[in-house]
Amino acid sequence: MTLTGTAAGVPYLAVPPATPSPDAPVVLAWHLLDSPRTPAALAAALPLDGLDAWRVYLGLPMTGDRLPEGGWPEVIRLASEDAVRNMHRPVVYGGAEEFAAAWPELKQALQVEPRSLGVVGGSMGAAVAQLVALESGLDIEAAVLVSPVVQLRAAVAAVGRRYGIAYPWTAETDAVAERLDFVARAAEFGPTQVLLVVGEEDDREGFLDPSAALAEALGGRGRLATIPGMGHSLADEPGTDPAPQTPHAAAVDRLATGWLRERL
């Protein structure tokens, strides 16, 4: 039985393990801003079936029911004005900060005190997952990062190349890029085992190369997997509602499920 609700204002969709128990593992997952861009859509794209753990899909700030007035066009307008100040910082910082308040309520709602924890994130959701792994104080045994923002500066440059613009970095936004440079912060992952999954058709400088650099920096704790023919997204547009799993998402799902099953 799928559970839906909010925890400290954060929308979630939770799928129970096959054998529920008070200490069942929990996997926390954050969606992309590209497709799939809601918890329900990510749960359809990456159901992690066969993983005997709670799968909890969390909504990001400025998405779903929390879109600003004007919807996605307003998000795009804000991003065009200043992508880091108006989108990356509030979504990524906000997602990590609100999780701190949501986690105790989630445990109470699911009636668990998990023996192990994993995180999953796609694109900007992967940046949230990495902040949780590094800064929440929780012991995260395993992480799966899909099409991840591993170095914010590189990801912003990739978007700039797509639209023919150059982002005007300042001291303020440089500080955001520094916090969201997970290659430079690789040592902070500690014992967390990290799988990075990137489409071979994704932007090389923005996503493939930074993911490879993080996997290398993690040494034996990291692994890079690439999916032939896959770009950045995991689902067809509009990516807001559950949709049939694409072949690329199915390939990612198999890798993620196997990685987490062996480590949780």
Give the per-residue pLDDT at 129: 98
Neighbour-count burial for 213-241, b at 16+ CB within 10 Å, e otherwise: bbbebbeebbebbebeebbbbbbeeebbe
- Peptide linkage before 228 cis (omega within 30 of 0): no
Mean pLDDT (whole number) for 33-56 = 97
Mean pLDDT (whole number) for 138-166 = 94
The span from the first CA to the last CA of the chain, in angstroms, equals 22
Q: pTM of the predicted model, to two decimals?
A: 0.97
Give the per-residue pLDDT at 97: 97
Question: Look-up: residue for tokens 């200490």?
Answer: 23
Which pLDDT tens digit goes with each residue over 127-136? 999 999 999 9
Mean pLDDT (whole number) for 33-53 = 96
Assess whether pLDDT exceeds 90 at residue 218.
Answer: yes
Assess whether pLDDT exceeds 90 at residue 11.
Answer: yes
- Peptide linkage before 238 cis (omega within 30 of 0): yes
